[in-house]
Homo-oligomer: A and B are copies of this chain.
Amino acid sequence: MTIETNTAISVDCAVFGFDGKSLKALLIKRRYSYEDLSSEDLKLPGAMILENETLPEAANRVLEEFTGLTGIYLKQTNIFSAPDRVSEKEMEWICRFHGVNTRRVVTVGYYALVKLNQGMVNYTTRKGAKWIEVDSINSLIMDHLEILADALSTLQKEIVQTPVAFELLPKKFTVYQLQSLFEAVLGVEIDNRNFRKKILSSGIIYPTGEFEKNVAHKPAQYYAFNKSVFRKAMKDRFRLSFINNWTY
């Protein structure tokens, strides 16, 4: 019985952004080619964990490197621990690229949400990263596509139960932007009247009194997220009979 301690642990981050139309993920080109591994291959931003670092700290370090931001929304998804998840060739590339010497890498998936505006696009572009429409991503290196799919499915679960939607929108947003975000993330169409009714009656967003300007249609009002009402709603939920939330 051999105990394996020569295992490196890495984090890989699926970073999502919303441009008002579609859901995008932040991808980077594999830097440096190695044999027939192409530098055109796309990957998720990631890193090996350092000696005195927790996994969330490592993930935050990666996020700061590529977005320049700290304190952005971050949540662990799954662990990918198959001994053969990294091919021999990829393993050689990893050891060379990261300057490590290890026989195995277990990676922990994270998903992160950022407010995607022009400044963010400029920043990530300078870092050599690109925002790609999630629906159009069909190939990434190693098991990164699986990590991304996992992250998307986590986002879909969370967006209907927690206020993560507001992590993807500017501080002030229109009801339509919020609705479009739900539609993009969940891949469904939503009736606008019912959506407004539900979201506004819940009180978790409030009108700011400001309106769009210079738009070729009736200007929409900007709303903002009401944290305290949301927290109250969460507490209330636990006072309801459980049967309320039961979904069999």
A105: shortest Cβ distance to chain B, in Å? 9
Q: Does A136 contact B (CB under 8 A)?
A: no
Q: Does A70 contact B (CB under 8 A)?
A: no
Contacts of A241 in B (CB 8 A): 188, 190-191
Contacts A4-B50, A246-B198: A78 and B76 contacting too (C-beta < 8 A)?
yes
Q: Does A49 contact B (CB under 8 A)?
A: yes
Contacts of A76 in B (CB 8 A): 78-79
A56 nearest CB neighbor, chain B only? B81
Within A146-173, the residues touching B (CB, 8 Å) are: 160-161
Contacts of A56 in B (CB 8 A): 81
A156 nearest CB neighbor, chain B only? B242
Verify A245–B247 contact, CB threshold 8 A: yes
Contacts A237-B247, A243-B190: A83 and B7 contacting too (C-beta < 8 A)?
no
Q: Does A51 contact B (CB under 8 A)?
A: yes
Q: Does A122 contact B (CB under 8 A)?
A: no
* Residue-wise interface mask of A (89-132) relative to B, using a CB-CB cutoff of 8 A (1 in contact, 0 not): 00000000011111010101000000000000000000000000
Q: Does A202 contact B (CB under 8 A)?
A: yes
Number of copies: 2
Q: Does A36 contact B (CB under 8 A)?
A: no
Q: Does A194 contact B (CB under 8 A)?
A: yes
A10 nearest CB neighbor, chain B only? B3
Contacts of A81 in B (CB 8 A): 9, 49, 54-56
Complex-state Cα separation, A49 to B219, whole angstroms: 59
Verify A49–B4 contact, CB threshold 8 A: yes
Contacts of A182 in B (CB 8 A): 242
Rank and list the top 5 A-B pairs by shortest CB-CB distance, nearest first.
A4-B51, A55-B81, A3-B100, A5-B102, A54-B81
